[in-house]
Amino acid sequence: MPLTILTSAGVAFAKAVKDKELYMAWGRGGAWGSAQTLTNQAFTSGTLNVGQTNITGVLVRSLDNLTTYALGTDYTANTGAGTITKVGSGITGNVNVSFVPLPPAASAADTVLVDEIGRRKISTKNYVVADAGGTITVGGNKYSVSVTPTNKLYVAAIFAIDEAPDEVIREYAVFTETVVSDSVEPGESYVAVGDVVSPGFMVVINRVAPIFRNAATQQELAALLSF
């Protein structure tokens, strides 16, 4: 018979997680979200491989960059495979290729960030319900805070202006059971990655377009945990 997950069980999981100490970790991620250009690229048997998969924003230009070739007319692009194939006779030699790598999809195999910078204790933990008039927006959906426990938990952390001020953030995740070094002062909310003894268990991960940090602004990161 099919397995049924009871809503009450989801609420119980949300309660258990809410009662734990949670950390929001942030990291540099990979090169995704930033435009890359490969110059003087040659086609092999009519196909050029850019060396990365899952790309977008493909532009193919002549070596002097004076001619921008037309997608569909001069070439086709398999953005999932990261390959470009010539069409017709418009492209006659080597080319310059620009593209933007997309973030890799999150999977159950993810247990840590690709390139963590540090993490901060999560200060906001609220049960929420879907509400078209709500003031909390996550993933294009609106929610409002619920005083009654639900199976949805909204969590957020605000990183201070002096925390990773010159970094580029491309991913963040919520962790439970984090163990930090004894050298971290009691009550310290922000922990650099070098002081993380054990990352703990990742609850959810988000990979995003680059967030360029600066020393003039705080950065709030939020996530919705559904159980």
In this prediction, the residues of the chain whose per-residue pLDDT falls under 50 are: 1, 4
Strands 22-27 and 55-61: unpaired
pLDDT for position 2: 53
Question: 115 and 207 in contact (C-beta within 8 Å)?
Answer: no
**CA–CA separation, 187 vs 120, rounded Å?**
11
3-state percent breakdown (helix, strand, coil) of the chain, nearest 5: 5, 45, 45
Domain locations in the chain as residue ranges:
7-31+106-226, 36-101
Question: 139 and 222 in contact (C-beta within 8 Å)?
Answer: no
pTM summary value: 0.80
**CA–CA separation, 34 vs 119, rounded Å?**
23
pLDDT for position 32: 84
pLDDT for position 1: 44
Q: Of how many residues is the chain composed?
A: 227
pLDDT for position 144: 95
Whose CA is closest to 218, among 189, 175, 184?
189
Please name the helix (run of DSSP H) or strand (run of DSSP E) that holds residue 219, with its range, or none: strand 219-226
